[in-house]
C-alpha cells in the first residue's frame, strides 16, 4: 500500500509550489527532487496564482512569514482550492507568536487543506488554542507517549473531522489521521531533531505524496511520514563517529533519493488505531 504511494510520486513527478521559509528552503527543494517530485518557490502575491496554477500541489509553511508572504499564502491557497490542487499546511511556530497563530487560524478558515502537518504543540495550538511551544519545537508537556497514545489518536481524528484535512502530528511517535482512522508510526531517530528543517522537509515531501496520490490523502501522508522516518534510520546507520548533524542532513536527503518503494514498504513501522 505505502509502496504504491512512492511509486506514484516517481511516476507522476508532481510539480509542487512552495511558499516556505528561507531557513530550510534549499533542503525542501532537494528533498522534493530526491523523492521524484519537482519544486518551484514563489512568494510574491502578484505571481503566486499563476505559479500555483501550473503546479500540481501547494505547500504552505509559515516558518519565516512576513506581511508580503502572508498575502501570497492566501492568494495561492485560494487559487489551489479552485483548481482542486492538494494544499499542505506546516504551521511552524504556531503558538510562538500572535502573528503565527492568527495567520495559521485564518488560513484554516479561508483555505481548504489536504494535510496539516506539525509538531504536537503547533497542532494543539490550532485545535485547542493552548499548545505550549519552545520556539519552533514541541514542548515536553505536550508529547505523544505510549500512555496517552489512544487519547492523542482520538484528538487527531477529531481535529481531522473538524478541518476536513488529514492531520499529521510528528514527533517520537507520529500520528497521521483522517476522521476515521489513525496511523501510529514508529519510524525515525531522535537525532533528526538536531537537523534544522526535518519538519519542513517532511511537509514538502507530503505535498509531493498527496499530489501524486490525490484520492488517498491519508495513505499518501502516512507514506511520506514513514519515508522520512525510515530515511532517518538509514541515514543514522551511515554515520561515522566523527560525523554530526550537517552530514546527517545529507544522508537523510540521500536516503530519500535512494529509497525504493519496496524498501519503504519493508521499513515502515506502523499500526492502525
Q: Give the nearer residue to a copy of itself in terms of CB position, either 27 or 122.
A: 27
Q: CA-CA distance, 142 to 155, in Å (whole number)?
A: 12
Q: CA-CA distance, 145 to 239, in Å (whole number)?
A: 27
Half-sphere exposure of 151 (CA within 13 A, CB side): 8
CB of 267 to a copy of itself, least distance (A): 14
Q: CA-CA distance, 60 to 155, in Å (whole number)?
A: 23
CB of 183 to a copy of itself, least distance (A): 26
CB of 157 to a copy of itself, least distance (A): 30
C-beta separation of 98 from 127 below 8 A: no
Of 1-9, 115-123, 148-156, 240-248, the window that binds a copy of itself (rule: CB under 8 A) is 240-248
List beta partners, residue 93: none
CB of 273 to a copy of itself, least distance (A): 31
Return the H-helix or E-strand segment holding 175: strand 174-177
Position among 4, 15, 158, 214 found at the interface with a copy of itself (CB under 8 A): 15
Is 149 one of the binding residues for a copy of itself (CB under 8 A)? no
Is 260 one of the binding residues for a copy of itself (CB under 8 A)? no
Of 1-9, 130-138, 152-160, 175-183, the window that binds a copy of itself (rule: CB under 8 A) is 130-138
Of 113-121, 154-162, 188-196, 265-273, the window that binds a copy of itself (rule: CB under 8 A) is 188-196
Is 108 one of the binding residues for a copy of itself (CB under 8 A)? no
Q: Give the nearer residue to a copy of itself in terms of CB position, either 107 or 136.
A: 136
Handedness of CA 209, 213, 219, 223 (dihedral sign): negative
CB of 263 to a copy of itself, least distance (A): 12
If DSSP states are collapsed to H, E and C, what string results for 212-224?
HCCCCHHHHHHHH
Phi, psi dihedral angles at 192 (to 5 degrees): -60, -25
Site for a copy of itself in 206-235 (CB under 8 A): 234
Amino acid at each position: 500500500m505505502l509502496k504504491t504511494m512512492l511509486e506514484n510520486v516517481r511516476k507522476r513527478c508532481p510539480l509542487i509550489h512552495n511558499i516556505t521559509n528561507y531557513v530550510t528552503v534549499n533542503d525542501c527543494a532537494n528533498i522534493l527532487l530526491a523523492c521524484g517530485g519537482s519544486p518551484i518557490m514563489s512568494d510574491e502575491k502578484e505571481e503566486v496564482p499563476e505559479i500555483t496554477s501550473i503546479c500540481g500541489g501547494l505547500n504552505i509553511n509559515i516558518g519565516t512569514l512576513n506581511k508580503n508572504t502572508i498575502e501570497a499564502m492566501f492568494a495561492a491557497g485560494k487559487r489551489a482550492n479552485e483548481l482542486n490542487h492538494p494544499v499542505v499546511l506546516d504551521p511552524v511556530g504556531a503558538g510562538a507568536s500572535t502573528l503565527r497563530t492568527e495567520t495559521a487560524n485564518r488560513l484554516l478558515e479561508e483555505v481548504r487543506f489536504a494535510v496539516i502537518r506539525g509538531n504536537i504543540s503547533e497542532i494543539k495550538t490550532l485545535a485547542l488554542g493552548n499548545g505550549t511551544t519552545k520556539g519552533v519545537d514541541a514542548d515536553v508537556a505536550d508529547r505523544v507517549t505510549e500512555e496517552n497514545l489512544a487519547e492523542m489518536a482520538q484528538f487527531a481524528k477529531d481535529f481531522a473531522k473538524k478541518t476536513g484535512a488529514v492531520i499529521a502530528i510528528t514527533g517520537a511517535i507520529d500520528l497521521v489521521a483522517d476522521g476515521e482512522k489513525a496511523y501510529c508510526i514508529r519510524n525515525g531517530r531522535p537525532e533528526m531533531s538536531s537537523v534544522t528543517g526535518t519538519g519542513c522537509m517532511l511537509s514538502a515531501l507530503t505535498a509531493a505524496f498527496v499530489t501524486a496520490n490525490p484520492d488517498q490523502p491519508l495513505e499518501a501522508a502516512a507514506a511520506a511520514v514513514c519515508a522520512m522516518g525510515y530515511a532517518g534510520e538509514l541515514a543514522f546507520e551511515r554515520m561515522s563517529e566523527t560525523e554530526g548533524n550537517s552530514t546527517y542532513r545529507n544522508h537523510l536527503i540521500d536516503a530519500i533519493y535512494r529509497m525504493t518503494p519496496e524498501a519503504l514498504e519493508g521499513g515502515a513501522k506502523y499500526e492502525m488505531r
